[in-house]
């Protein structure tokens, strides 16, 4: 059996799933609370085509949400736009040019959205 530097207890019958970083049950994990991205309160919406074969993608950055809430908001935005996309590294990517539609939807959710990138 190989030993790993980041290995250890993954599941306990007492507490369920265990955090690999702080070795606490996931429900009481302290390190996950510190990983929220620090935002300035402004959500930036931009369109990008660089490195995507000429296809445009709408990027939403600056949301100070935890990963689960970010994934849920990404799902709602993709459904509203009727297109695909993903959530990577705290950035929501929606396929196509949907900047205005996404900005109005973010304002409905109470976020201060700003168009960037020309």
Token pair belonging to 67: 């990963």
- Structure confidence at residue 78 (pLDDT): 95
CATH 3.30.780.10 occupies which residues in the chain?
A: 39-115
* Residues 82-103, mean pLDDT to the nearest whole number: 93
pLDDT in the model for residue 32: 60
Q: For tokens 């990008």, what's the residue?
A: 48
Q: Under CATH, which number does the domain 39-115 receive?
A: 3.30.780.10
Residues 23-40 as b or e (16 or more Cβ within 10 Å = b): eeeeeebeeeeeeeeeee
Mean pLDDT value of segment 32-36: 54
Instruction: Check residue 19 and give its pLDDT.
Output: 74
Q: Is the pLDDT assigned to residue 55 strictly greater than 80? A: yes
């Amino acid at each position: 059996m190989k030993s790993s530097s980041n290995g250890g207890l993954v599941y306990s019958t007492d507490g369920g799933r265990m955090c690999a970083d702080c070795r606490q049950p996931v429900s009481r994990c302290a390190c996950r609370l510190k990983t929220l991205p620090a935002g300035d309160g402004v959500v930036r919406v931009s369109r990008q085509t660089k490195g995507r074969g000429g296809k445009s993608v709408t990027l939403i950055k600056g949301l100070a949400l935890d990963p689960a809430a970010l994934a849920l908001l990404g799902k709602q935005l993709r459904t509203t736009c009727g297109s695909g996309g993903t959530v990577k590294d705290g950035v929501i990517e929606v396929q196509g040019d949907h900047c205005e539609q996404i900005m109005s939807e973010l304002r409905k959710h109470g976020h201060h959205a700003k168009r960037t990138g020309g």
